[in-house]
Amino acid sequence: MPIRGGLPPRNPRFVGRETLLTHMRDLLGNGPVVLLPSPEHQLGGTGRTQLAVEYAYRHAEAYDLIWWIPAEQTAGTRSALAGLAQRLGVPEAHDLNRTLAAVRDALSRGEPYRNWLVVFENANRPEDITPYLPSGAGHVLVTSRNPRWTAEVAQALPVPVLDRVDSVDLLRARAPELSAVDADRLAARLEDVPIALDLAAAVRETTGRSVGGYLEDYERRAGELAFPTPIRVAWGLAAEALGAAAPADRALLELCTFLASAPISWRLLWAARTLPLDPELARTVRVERRLRAAMRRIARYGLAGLDPAGERLTVHPLIRGMFGQELSSEAHAALLRTVRGMLAAADPGDPDDPAGWYRYAELAPHLVHSDLLGGDVEEVRQLVINCIRFHYARGDYDSSRDLASAAVARWRDRLGESAEQTLLAAFHLANALRAIGRKDDARNLNLQTLRTQREVVGADDETTLATANSVGADLRMQGHFGQARQLDADNLVRYRRLFGESYPTALRCANNLAADLRLLGDFRGARALDEQVLRHRLAIFVEGHPETVASRAALAFDLFGLGDYAGAAEVIAVRPGDTVPADHPFALWAGRCAAMAARRRGDPSARGLAEANLAMSRQRFGDLSVDTLAAAVSAANCARADGDLDGAHHLLERAVARYHAVLGDDHPFTLAASAGLAGVVRATGRHGEARTIDQEVLVGLRRSVGPDHPFTLSCANGLAADLVAAGEAQPARELAADTLRRSRAVRGPDHPDTVACAWNLALTDGDETVRQQALDGLVKVFGDGHPVFRVTAAEQQVETEVDLPPL
């Protein structure tokens, strides 16, 4: 049996369509096929979805994998494809776009399944699914109401009404006692339209109505309509019969008019129990047993599908539309308010918690059909904000941006630009914009939002502080580390005053301030803060929680910066209870620091650790992420330490080019990576080229982070070596002496990089006593047998290469 995902149950009453099924099979061999309504029934109802379901079951043995994707909304499509990624064994990337591209590519390659069937249901906008269409040996089947599919995308296959013989068989399958003559009469009046036939059969079966009685009612109903069609008349009779038998059931179904075609769980409908409702409807929804019974009755009248477990109703778009057209404007408004309240009542809260994501995935498809953005109560708008955050938290930045952008536009007009929830939506929109690489747009929007929040709700409001934190992230991304420190320090004072120092958000703010200090080269200050945050988090969370992993990784980078490589390795060692996956962003930070510490300690395992970390970072974040680029720099340092100068040069050359593209020419990270590239160029003997790079980089670093920053000192140390190679002894000695003096003041006399600078200066002096003292200092710091002594034995300069901390 093939692996199945999301495939609806097989229709046991499916009849006919043999020629169509055969033709579909033949067409699929030539590429994607889209099932469309026939020209005479462009609104649908001809059984496209049932045909796709039947095909999937009938040919199941030909496939290793069958995956059903609801494609009415882009967010639903992306969610279903993310589920397919897990089944294919595609590693989850931080950005869902990368995961979905990997899914498409894995299917196209036939890995791990060569024979597969992917069905996109209700894909009414070809452009929405085109980026996800795989090629290869598998098959793609689409159902759609939109006739504007081009042959380049998919082969169109119109689905007509049933043949009369098949219509008769369908009716008699539901009522074996029905004569062929009566079935023919009924099928003729319903014009062989599948959905109308199914509604008529369901009503007759449930009510016991005779064919003659049903046809009399049919004519009556048709006479009441200006434009009677078989679907509209059959629907009207089914809705009428349901309303007569159980008015509360019809009222419940009318609520579904404002929900999507996605399955509607009883739990969602049950959420309406807290709302003011008609007494009979209230009695139905307040008790699970009665609610489930109502769902079964609705399904028996053919007005919705019900899954075998009786958990979820699915209402056909045509059925939804017809209920909506029957409602008065007053009833429409009242039901819409109820549905919005029901959705808000079903909000699980805390969209950052993966445990509740399945519930948000269930709610999110209904936001559009219920026009939740137009809700006039705060809790309804809060659900929109939580769904924006849910999409962001699971890595679907495009869906987060789209929903946030729509919310900002609607709420600015409806509520005003300075309304609290307009500003909240703008805050989340900026986060999504930053995540998709639109850093300037994110920064500008955040600054505008922060100014407005400070004017309207004050600097101490929790929402203002959240936006200020986001502005701090923008500043770090721009390389304005000092400005970020000032802002985050002010935020931390306010958070602690309002909530206390152990409040989770206050701890995140402290974490941000520590990151600023680390980026400024103040590793002692960062360490003090990170140790404090780690203590608080260990008191709040279990060991191995992502927050504690983040704190341990941050503390490890602090210790590394202080030259305590053994301490850095110890603080991030795997502990019992660690459950964070190896490719989690915080785990990747820790893994990179472990490789860095191993390299500085002379451990030969360093390169393998760094290369594995880089591979996972690429998979998780993509090649242009600042995390991946930092991992590439660390991997290049390990390759160089391993003697592979070509490999180090290749990694650094690409990283520098990408830093220029992502962060800009003058960003400290771009400059620091360029200094690393100069070091590799210098090691290959191209001293003039290295000197040119180092001179330009040193000017940029002195201007951006100052002369005492570790990045600047590392570059100055390299430039001194360039000058030595050029025979400029006096300038080299002066620069080396200045670098040593600054390193002693900033990092301390016993820091490994300070001791390396002392050795380099000793080489320029030629004094054997000074040189021996410098060598003794290296032995004290690194211990006997360290690879650094191969460099000193050759009387060469010791490099002080840069590893970049997380932004």
Concatenated DSSP letters for 540-570? HS-TT-HHHHHHHHHHHHHHHHTT-HHHHHH
Q: Which residues contact 631 (CB under 8 A, 6 or more apart)?
A: 588, 592, 610, 613, 614, 617, 618
Quote the tokens at residue 219: 């004519």
Q: What is the pLDDT of residues 158-180, one digit of tens each?
A: 999 999 999 999 999 989 999 99
Residue 588's nearest CA partner among 624, 618, 633 is 618
Comparing 498-507, 511-520, 557-566, the range with the smallest average pLDDT is 498-507
Is the backbone of residue 62 left (phi > 0), alpha (psi -120 to 50) or beta? alpha
Looking at residue 171, its amino acid is L
* Collapsed DSSP state (helix, strand, coil) of residue 120: strand
Q: Indicate where the chain has its CATH 3.40.50.300 domain(s).
A: 3-160
State how far the alpha carbon of 328 is from the alpha carbons of 243, 331, 347, 612, in Å.
Answer: 17, 5, 29, 63
Q: Specify the pLDDT at position 364.
A: 92
Q: What distance in Å separates the CA atoms of residue 395 and residue 96, rounded to the nearest whole number?
A: 5
Instruction: Kindly tell me if the per-residue pLDDT of 211 is higher than 80.
Output: yes
Q: Is the predicted pLDDT of residue 766 greater than 80, yes or no?
A: no
Neighbours of 244 (CB within 10 A): 10
Q: What's 4's DSSP letter?
A: E
Radius of gyration of the chain (CA): 33
- DSSP H/E element including 680: helix 668-683
Cα–Cα distance for residue pair 140/24, rounded to 1 Å: 11
With 90 as the cut, is the pLDDT of residue 232 above it? yes
Two tokens at 216? 């009399």
- What is the mean pLDDT of the segment spanning 296-309? 94
Q: What is the pLDDT of residues 437-492, one digit of tens each?
A: 898 999 999 999 999 999 999 999 999 999 999 999 999 999 999 999 999 999 99
What integer is the mean pLDDT of 721-725?
95
**pLDDT tens track for 664-713:** 999 999 999 999 999 999 999 999 999 999 999 999 999 999 999 999 99
Residue 583 binned pLDDT confidence (cut-offs 50, 70, 90): confident
Task: Give the pLDDT mean for 123-144.
Answer: 94
Where are the alpha helices (H) located in 47-143, listed in sequence order?
A: 48-58, 74-88, 96-109, 126-129
Q: Is 562 a residue whose pLDDT tops 90? A: yes
Q: What is the DSSP letter of 31?
A: S
| Residue in 363, 357, 436 with CA at minimum distance from that of residue 394 | 357
Q: What pLDDT does 386 receive?
A: 97
What pLDDT sits at residue 1?
72
Judged against a pLDDT cut of 90, whether residue 221 lies above it is answered with yes
Pairing, β 65-70 against β 116-121: parallel
- Asked whether the bond before 112 is cis by omega within 30 degrees of 0, the reply is yes
DSSP letter at 706 equals: -
Query: Do residues 193 and 230 make contact, with C-beta atoms less than 8 angstroms apart?
Result: yes
Distance CA 212, CA 219 (A): 11
CB-count exposure of residue 466 (10 Å: 0-12, 13-18, 19+): buried
Q: Are 701 and 726 in contact (CB under 8 A)?
A: no
Write down the CATH number for the domain with range 3-160. 3.40.50.300
Q: What's the mean pLDDT in 305-329?
A: 91
Range list for CATH 1.25.40.10 in the chain? 663-793
CATH of span 663-793: 1.25.40.10
Quote the pLDDT of residue 80: 92
The span from the CA of 461 to the CA of 453, in Å, is: 8
Number of alpha carbons in the 13 Å side-chain half-sphere of residue 639: 22
Identify whether the C-beta of residue 805 lies closer than 8 Å to the C-beta of residue 519. Answer: yes
Assess whether pLDDT exceeds 80 at residue 798.
yes
CA proximity to 96, closest of 85, 87, 88: 85
Token pair in block for residue 413: 């007009």
Phi, psi of 459 (to 5 degrees): -70, -20
Please answer whether residues 301 and 28 qualify as being in contact, where contact means their C-beta atoms are separated by less than 8 angstroms.
no
pLDDT of residue 574: 78
- Given CA atoms 533, 538, 540, 544 in this order, what sign does their dihedral have? positive
Per-residue tokens: 376: 């006039």
Tallying the residues shown for the chain, one arrives at 807
Burial (CB count <10 Å: 0-12, 13-18, 19+), residue 446: buried
CA distance 109 to 104: 9
Cross-strand pairs, 34: 142, 156
Average pLDDT, the chain: 94
pLDDT higher at 262 or 417: 417
Is residue 498 within 8 Å of residue 462, measured between CB atoms? Answer: yes
> In this predicted structure, what is the pLDDT of residue 42?
82
CB 573 within 8 A of CB 535: no
User: Mean pLDDT across the stretch 286-303?
Assistant: 95
Supply the pTM of this predicted model: 0.86
pLDDT interval class at 577 (50, 70, 90): low
Return the pLDDT at 546: 87
